[in-house]
Structure 1
Amino acid sequence: MMAKEIPVLPFKRFLKFDELTDFVSTLAAARPDLVTLTSIGASREGRAIHLLTITDAATGKPEDKPAYLIHGNIHALELSGTHAALYTARQLVVDHDKSDLLKRVVFYIVPRINPDGAEFAVTTSGSIRSRTDRSEREANTLYQEDVNGDGLILTMRQEHPDGSLVTDPKDPRLLIRRKRDSAGPFYRTLPEGLIHDWDGTDNIRVEGRSFDWNRNWSYDWRPEPEQGGAGDFPFSEPEMRSMAEFIHSHANIFGILGYHTGPGAVLRPPSTGSDTDLSEEDVRVMDELAQIGSEYTGLPIYPVVKYHSADRRDINLRGHFHNFGYHHLGLFVFEFELGILKNSAGIETEEILAAKKPEEEEEEMRRLMKWWDEQEERDEIYKPWTPFEHPQLGKVEIGGLLNRHLAGRTLPDLEEISKGTYQFTVEHASRHPRIILEDVQVDAVGGDVYRIRARTANRGHFPTNVSNQGRSLRKLRAVQVEFHPACCVNLLSNQGHYHIGHMNGLTDSRLLEWFVSAPPGKQKLCEIRVFGGTGGNVSVYVTK
C-alpha cells in the first residue's frame, strides 16, 4: 500500500474551520502510525476542538510517554497561532525519519482552542477577544453586523461635532486624534453593526460582555471587574473547561507552549508579582529555555509582568496561563507572541512597546501603510471609506483597517517565525524526564526461591517534578513501582510495591529487590510496572 502524501500547510490565508478540519484529517490519514485525530470537546456553537496526538505508535502508547502540549488561537483574532501549531505538527511528522523524538515523546497539539471566535474573525474580520455574549441584548448597545453586505465587519465613521478624530492630512486613509487647531470634519467611529433598541441619543455602548479566556485559568483567578474578561468562575467557558479536564487527566504532561500574536516576544512566568515570588533555580531554568527560544526566533524575552508599554507600571494578569502552568502544574510553560503586522513592517517590538506621544504612534501607523504600499504581494489590510446610508445612524462611511490582518504578521513572515518556534519546541521537549527499568536480573537462591533485582531510573534531563515548584504539587505524580507475581508464584519479601517519590534527572536511580518462590517448570515470574508521571510508564515481564 502506497503511503499517502503529507499535506502542505498553505501560508497564503488564514484557515476557516472546515479548512482546518481538512488539514488535520489529511495529516492523520497520511501517517496513521504517527498521528491520531480526536477532540478534547466541543465549542459553545458545536465545533470540534481538534486534538492531534503525535507519536510513534510502534514504541508504546501515548499515555505511557512523556507529553508536550501545544495550544493556539485562544484569542479569536490571533489566527497565526493556529498556523504555528499546525506547522509544528506537520514538521514533527516530516522529521520523524531523522529523529527519534517521537519514539520517546508524545505531542498533544490543540491548534485552535477557540473555533467559534476564530471563525467569526477569519470570515468577517470583526473585533472579538475570545467570546462576546450576545445572548441578552441591551438597549442602546451596538452589536457587530455586516450592514452593507460586503461580507466584512469594518469600522463606521460619522461626522459629529464632538468627534475625537480627524482625517490624517499625511495619509487620508487613517484617522488621527483631534487637536485644538484641527480642521474638520470631525468623526466619531463605531464598529459596523446595528444598535439594539436605540433611543436616538449619543449614549451608544458597544457590544455585549467580553470574555478573555487567558484570564479564565484557575490560579489567582479574580472576578470582574477586578480582572476584565475573567468569566464567572475559573474554567467557566466550556472550551476552557475541556482544556482543564484534558490537562488534569494527563499526568504525563511535562511542558506546555501557547501561541499568541502580540508584538513579537518570548514570554515566561510570572504573570503577577515578580521573579522573587518564584524559585530562584526555576527562574534560571526558565531564562535558559527562553534564551533558546529567542536565539531560534530572534524575538526578545519578557516575563509576562514586564510585557507592556514602557510608560506603564508592571501588569498583573489574574487567571493567566503562565501562573496556572507554573504554580498549579509545576511546569516550565511559555508563550510565543508571534508578532503583529507592525513587526512585518520592520517596527521592532522594543519600539512598539516604547513610551510614545500620540504623534509618534500616528507616525508608526504611517510607516506601516507606507510599507504596505511598497509590497508586491500583500494581504488586503485596508478598505476605502465608502458612503453608506445606515438604517439608524443615517449617513456614515464604512471602511478602514482589517483587524484580522493587523493582529498578526504577514503569513510568509509567520512561516519563518514558525520554523524557529518549532526548533525551540524540539529543544524543550528533548529535555523530558525519562523513567526506565534497567539491570533486570534473576538469580536462583536455592530450591524454588529466586531473587529478582531491577533498577528504576530517570535518564531524562528534567526531574519528574520538572521544577522546584512541582515537587510539592499533587498534579505531578511521584514515581511508583508495582510488583505483580505471575500465577502460582508467591512473593516472599515483606514489600512488593514501592513508592519511590520524585526522581532527579539523568543520574537518579533506585535498585529494588524481591524474593519469590516458583514451582519447577514455571518460567514467568512476575510483571514489574513503573508509573513515572511526567517521565512516562514502563513495564517488563520477568522470566527465569
Structure 2
Amino acid sequence: MKRIALLNCFVIISAIVSGQPQSVHEIKSDKKVNYTLSGMRHGVNYFPQVRLANVQYETGEVLDFDKYHSLDVIYDWLEIWAEKYKELVELYEAGTSYEGRPVLQITVTNRKTGRDTDKPGAFFEGGRHSGEVTGCETVMWLARYLLENYGTDPDVTHLLDTKTIYLRPVNNPDGHNLYMNTAQSNRSSVRPVDNDGDGLLDEDAPDDLDNNGIIHTMRWKDEEKGNLIPDPRDESGRIMKRVEPGKGIYLSSTEGIDNDNDGRINEDGIGGLDLHRNYPENWRPQKEETGRGFTQGGAGEYPLSETETRSVVTFLLSHPNISVVNSMDTSVPMHLRPPSTSGSEERMYPEDLKWYRYFDDLGKKITGYKRAGDVYNDYGGGNPLFGHGPDFGYWYYGSIWYGDEIWNSGRFGDLNGDSITDQIDMLIWDEKENSGEGFTEWYTVKHAVYEEVELGGFDPKFFSQNPPARFLETWIKNQALFNLEMVKHLPELDWENIAVRKTKSYKTDSTDYQVKISFRNRGKLPTALKQAHLVKIVTEDRVMIELDTAGTASGNTGYKILPDEKRPVARERRGGGQFADQAAQRRPPLRIVPFTEGGAVTTAVFNIRLYKRSELKGQAHVLSTRGGILKDKEFIIR
C-alpha cells in the first residue's frame, strides 16, 4: 500500500483534536491490520502491522533469550513472576506513557526480611530509546536470574534478603510497541514533533516501499550529485564508499519518498523527542533566541516535560535508598557515566570519582567492552550533552549512575588487516559468524519519484541497532552480570558490638554508664557518596536507642540521657521546664554519626544516668538513608 501525504492534501488522521491523547491504550498490542498512533500529526498516523523474525509475540512456557520479546510478552512475564514469587516480587504501575500505556515495574526483594525502602537499593531500566530494545532484554534477564536462583544460590539469596532491586524493563512502551509491531523506528516518545522546523508535525516518516516490514537503506543513481560509489575493497559491490558530491554514482537515504515535497526524504518521522535529554540537570532548550547559546536536540519543551522521564525522577526521589542506577541503551558499546558537560575532575568529588573509575574498570572486565568513562570527554570528545540522565543521577541524586551502551553494531575489530574497523569488517563478521543474515543484498523496486531505486544494506533493527537474536543472550547476560556486581557493592550494615561500662557512682543512688554501639558496613560502597550529602538527598546516618521504662512510675523514667560533650543529643529540647524535659526523655534519643565507608566500623556513644535502678534494658537501631535500617539489637545496662 503506497502512503503519500502531500502538502496540498494533508489529512490529519487522529482520534483527538489536541496534542495530548485522551484515550487510553490497553496493555496488549493492537491486533488490527494497521497500527494506529495517538496524537495529532500532519503525516500518516497508521502503519501496517508486521511480525519480525527476531521477535517473540506470544508468551511461551519458559522465558528464553534466543529472540526479543514484544511488550505483551514482557508484561506477561512480569505478571507471571508477581504471581509465582509473591514473597519476592511486587508488580505495579510506575507511570503512564504519552499514549496512555502503563509503565510497569517490579520491586524484587525478600519482603519477609524487611520493607524494600529499609534496604539499600538499585534501579535498572531499559527501553528509554524506542529501538534500543537490548536494554529491555538485559533487565528481563537479570530478573529471571535473580528469581530462579533465589533459595538455591547463596549469593543471590543473601542479595535479595538484604538488598532491593527495582526493575523497569520498558520505560517507553509506546516507542517499544511501535518498533516491534511496524517497520518504523523512532528515537523515544511518539509525541508529534516538528523535527525540520517547517511548522508541520511528523509529516515525512519513512515508507516501506515493498511492504516487507523493514525500512532498508535506499540508493539511487545520480551521476550529477552522487556522493557514493561501490567500495573498491568489496568486490561484491555491497558496501558503499563516500566521495565528494558529483564524483559518485549514487545518492542514498532511508527507504521512502519525500512526502512533503521539501527536497528531503524522511526528515520528519514519528516523534523526535529524546527522553535521555529531558532530565533537569544541565537541561538546554531545543532552540534559543540569541543564536549564540547552547541548544539540545530532542530536549522537550521543558525539563521533565515527558511523562516517561518524569516517572523515573519522581520514583527515584521518593526512593532515596537507591545508590546504584543503570539506564541502558545501544550501541557503542561502553560503560557510560557522568559528566556530560565537563571533564570528570572539574566537577566531581575525588572520593566519588574514585568509585566511578573503579566501576569503569570492573565493567570492562565483566562485559568485555573496550570503552568506559564520562560522556563529555571519553564518549563525546569534548562535545556536551544536556539534560542527560547520568548528570541528574550524580549531581541531583548523588548516586552511581550509568547509561550503558550495549552491542557494537557488528564492529568486532579490524578483520581484514587494513588497520581500520569499518563496514567491510562488519560484512566479514556477518558472513563468518551470522550466516550473512545481517546484510540484505541490493535489489530493485519501483519508486514514485526516481522510477527505480535499490534497497538493501545492514538490518537496521537487528544488526545495526541491536544484536542478531542468536547473539542476544551473550550481550545481555554480560551487561546484567555487571549490574549484579554493582548491587553486590551496595552498603550492608551489620552489628559489630555493644559495650556497656560503669563510669561513675554517686552517693544519691545514681550511677552513670557509657554505652558504645558499633556497627560495620560489610558492603563496599559508603552509606552515601559525598555528593549525596551535599545535595541533601540523604539524611545523616543516625544511631537510635529505645530504653525500657517498664516498672517505673508514670512520668518517672528512672534514667537520664546525658548530653554528649561534643554534640547535643539529637532532638533534645532546651528549656520548657520539668515537663518538657520529661517529654524529651520519652522520645528515642539519637546520635548523628559520619557516613560509613565500606568495611569500616562506626561507633555511637550514649552516656546514661540511672536513678535508683539496678538495670535498664534497651534496644539499638541504625537509620541510614542508603545503608538501610538495622533494628532491635538488645543490650542491658547494669
TM bin, normalised by shorter chain, reads: 0.7 to 0.9
Out of 158, 167, 187, the residue aligned to residue 129 of structure 1 is 187
Q: Where does residue 335 of structure 2 map in the other structure?
A: 266
Structure 2 residue 465 is matched with structure 1 residue 404? no
Out of 84, 92, 110, the residue aligned to residue 30 of structure 1 is 84
SS where residue 270 of structure 1 aligns? Answer: coil
Q: Where does residue 455 of structure 1 map in the other structure?
A: 517
Alignment of 1:106-505 (within 5 A): 106-134=164-192, 138=200, 141-146=203-208, 148-160=210-222, 161-166=224-229, 170-179=235-244, 182=247, 184=249, 186-192=250-256, 195=259, 198=260, 200=261, 202=263, 206-207=267-268, 210-225=272-287, 226-277=295-346, 278-300=348-370, 301-308=372-379, 313-343=381-411, 346-347=412-413, 364-375=422-433, 381-382=439-440, 384-390=442-448, 396-405=453-462, 406-436=464-494, 439=497, 453=515, 455=517, 457-462=519-524, 464-482=526-544, 491=557, 492-494=559-561, 495=569, 496-505=588-597
SS where residue 63 of structure 1 aligns? Answer: helix
- 2:168 partner amino acid: V
- 1:22 partner amino acid: D
Q: State the TM-score, normalizing by the size of structure 2.
A: 0.71
Task: Give 1:247 shift.
Answer: 0.6
What is the alpha-carbon distance in structure 1 between the residues aligned to residue 262 and residue 91 of structure 2? 52
| Kept after mapping to 2: 8 A contact 1:388/1:398 | no
| Kept after mapping to 1: 8 A contact 2:216/2:254 | no
Task: Give 1:80 shift.
Answer: 0.8
Decide whether aligned partners of structure 1 residues 427 and 235 sit closer, same or farther in structure 2, where only a CA change above 3 A counts. Answer: same
Task: Give 1:18 shift.
Answer: 0.3
Residues 395-436 of structure 1 deviation map (CA, whole Å, 9 limit, x = unaligned): 555554432111122334332233333333333222222334
| Kept after mapping to 1: 8 A contact 2:226/2:246 | no
What is the alpha-carbon distance in structure 1 between the residues aligned to residue 148 and residue 306 of structure 2? 35
What is the alpha-carbon distance in structure 2 between the residues aligned to residue 261 and residue 135 of structure 1? 23
What is the alpha-carbon distance in structure 1 between the residues aligned to residue 452 and residue 476 of structure 2? 44
What is the alpha-carbon distance in structure 2 between the residues aligned to residue 434 and residue 26 of structure 1? 30
| Kept after mapping to 1: 8 A contact 2:499/2:517 | no
Q: Per residue, is there more strand in 1 or in 2?
A: 1
What is the alpha-carbon distance in structure 2 between the residues aligned to residue 397 and residue 228 of structure 1? 31
Q: Where does residue 536 of structure 1 map in the other structure?
A: 628
SS where residue 211 of structure 1 aligns? Answer: coil
Task: Give 1:52 shift.
Answer: 2.0
Structure 2 residue 139 is matched with structure 1 residue 85? yes
Q: State the TM-score, normalizing by the size of structure 1.
A: 0.82
| Kept after mapping to 1: 8 A contact 2:193/2:202 | no
What is the alpha-carbon distance in structure 2 between the residues aligned to residue 380 and residue 203 of structure 1? 27
Task: Give 1:383 shift.
Answer: 6.9
Task: Give 1:162 shift.
Answer: 3.4
Task: Give 1:251 shift.
Answer: 1.6
- 1:455 partner amino acid: I
What is the alpha-carbon distance in structure 2 between the residues aligned to residue 139 and residue 37 of structure 1? 36
Q: Where does residue 601 of structure 2 map in the other structure?
A: 508
Structure 2 residue 95 is matched with structure 1 residue 41? yes
Task: Give 1:450 shift.
Answer: 11
Q: Where does residue 3 of structure 1 map in the other structure?
A: none
Task: Give 1:238 shift.
Answer: 0.4
SS where residue 36 of structure 1 aligns? Answer: strand
What is the alpha-carbon distance in structure 2 between the residues aligned to residue 139 and residue 69 of structure 1? 35
| Kept after mapping to 2: 8 A contact 1:126/1:403 | no
| Kept after mapping to 2: 8 A contact 1:126/1:154 | no
Task: Give 1:34 shift.
Answer: 2.0
Bigger Cα Rg: 2
Q: Relative to structure 2, which stretch is displaced further, 428-437 or 150-159?
A: 150-159
| Kept after mapping to 2: 8 A contact 1:330/1:473 | yes
| Kept after mapping to 2: 8 A contact 1:384/1:399 | yes
Decide whether aligned partners of structure 1 residues 519 and 34 sit closer, same or farther in structure 2, where only a CA change above 3 A counts. Answer: farther
| Kept after mapping to 2: 8 A contact 1:35/1:52 | yes
SS where residue 330 of structure 1 aligns? Answer: coil
Superposition RMSD in Å: 3.9
Structure 2 spans left out of the alignment, 5+ residues:
1-59, 288-294, 562-568, 570-587
Residues 308-358 of structure 1 deviation map (CA, whole Å, 9 limit, x = unaligned): 4xxx84221122122222222222222332123313xx2379x9xx9x9xx
Decide whether aligned partners of structure 1 residues 379 and 86 sit closer, same or farther in structure 2, where only a CA change above 3 A counts. Answer: farther
SS where residue 69 of structure 2 aligns? Answer: coil
SS where residue 323 of structure 1 aligns? Answer: helix
What is the alpha-carbon distance in structure 1 between the residues aligned to residue 455 and residue 480 of structure 2? 40
| Kept after mapping to 1: 8 A contact 2:131/2:465 | yes
Task: Give 1:36 shift.
Answer: 2.2
Q: Relative to structure 2, which stretch is displaced further, 234-243 or 283-292?
A: 283-292
Task: Give 1:532 shift.
Answer: 0.8
Q: Relative to structure 2, which stretch is displaced further, 201-210 or 211-220?
A: 201-210
Residues 52-91 of structure 1 deviation map (CA, whole Å, 9 limit, x = unaligned): 2111222212111100111112111111111111111111
Decide whether aligned partners of structure 1 residues 150 and 101 sit closer, same or farther in structure 2, where only a CA change above 3 A counts. Answer: same
| Kept after mapping to 1: 8 A contact 2:91/2:106 | yes
- 2:272 partner amino acid: S
What is the alpha-carbon distance in structure 2 between the residues aligned to residue 450 and residue 71 of structure 1? 53
Decide whether aligned partners of structure 1 residues 224 and 381 sit closer, same or farther in structure 2, where only a CA change above 3 A counts. Answer: same
What percentage of aligned pairs have identical amino acids?
A: 23
What is the alpha-carbon distance in structure 1 between the residues aligned to residue 441 and residue 538 of structure 2? 51
Alignment of 1:43-62 (within 5 A): 43-62=97-116
Residues 82-118 of structure 1 deviation map (CA, whole Å, 9 limit, x = unaligned): 1111111111223332221111111111112122112
| Kept after mapping to 1: 8 A contact 2:331/2:409 | no
| Kept after mapping to 2: 8 A contact 1:49/1:112 | yes
Q: Where does residue 566 of structure 2 map in the other structure?
A: none
- 1:10 partner amino acid: D
SS where residue 470 of structure 1 aligns? Answer: helix
| Kept after mapping to 1: 8 A contact 2:256/2:265 | no
Q: Number of aligned residue pairs: give it.
A: 518
Q: Relative to structure 2, which stretch is displaced further, 132-141 or 204-213?
A: 132-141
Out of 73, 76, 83, the residue aligned to residue 127 of structure 2 is 73
